[in-house]
Amino acid sequence: MVIEQTEFNKVFLFKQHIHKDHRGTFVETFNLDELKEKGIKINFVRDCISTSKKNVLRGIHYDNKTWKLIQCMFGKIYFVVVDMRKDSSQYLKWQHFILSDENRHQVLVPPNFGNGHLVLSENCIFHYKMSEYYDPENEKTLKWDDPRVNISWPIKEPILSEKDKNAKYL
């Protein structure tokens, strides 16, 4: 696995080694020792999976405690990370990544960074590891099209949950 620093401090892109042969592929998606070697000390306590169809946009959600290790196990997504740290010089800056079952990339998202994704393929399976148990009282939602953030989503009218539709602008 190759772990690369992104534009944001503490947000990392993980590029897996994909082993292919006549039978198919093999990919190691998590190795605690490799994280420790990079100085990343996280204890994951939950794994979650969601499925979505094309043009579904989920997020942008965040809290002040949870690390998330994100991957697209099947399909292809446009994945966005937003710096929500008010004291940061990068506050409300965003970066996107294409995550797919072909590239097997993962993104490590720290606390106080929002994340959301748009499904680009017909269907997707989205997997994430979390360092904290779900706490709905602590979760915040940033409106997907907030003009202060101005994310360049590759769609104008995504399919949204009621929670994401009703999120407030900053």
Q: Per-residue pLDDT for 163 more than 90?
A: yes
State the CATH number of the domain containing residue 49.
2.60.120.10
Q: Domain for residue 20, yes or no?
A: yes
98: which residues sit within 8 A by CB, 6+ positions away?
76, 77, 78, 79, 105, 120
Q: Per-residue pLDDT for 112 more than 90?
A: yes
What pLDDT is attached to residue 38?
A: 86
Q: How far is it, in rounded angstroms, from Cα 87 to Cα 107?
A: 23
* pLDDT, mean of residues 25-50: 92
According to DSSP, residue 65 is labeled: S
* pLDDT, mean of residues 21-44: 91
164: which residues sit within 8 A by CB, 6+ positions away?
57, 58, 59, 141, 143, 144
Q: Per-residue pLDDT for 1 more than 90?
A: no
Which sequence positions are flagged as catalytic?
61, 128
In terms of residue numbers, what domain contains 61?
2-165
Q: Domain for residue 170, yes or no?
A: no
116 versus 34: which is more confidently predicted?
116
Q: How far is it, in rounded angstroms, from Cα 151 to Cα 80?
A: 8
* pLDDT tens-digit readout, 47-82: 999 999 999 999 899 999 999 999 999 999 999 999
Cα–Cα nearest to 81, from 160, 10, 165, 16: 10
Q: Count up the domains in the chain and report the number.
A: 1
Q: Per-residue pLDDT for 170 more than 90?
A: no
Q: Per-residue pLDDT for 122 more than 90?
A: yes
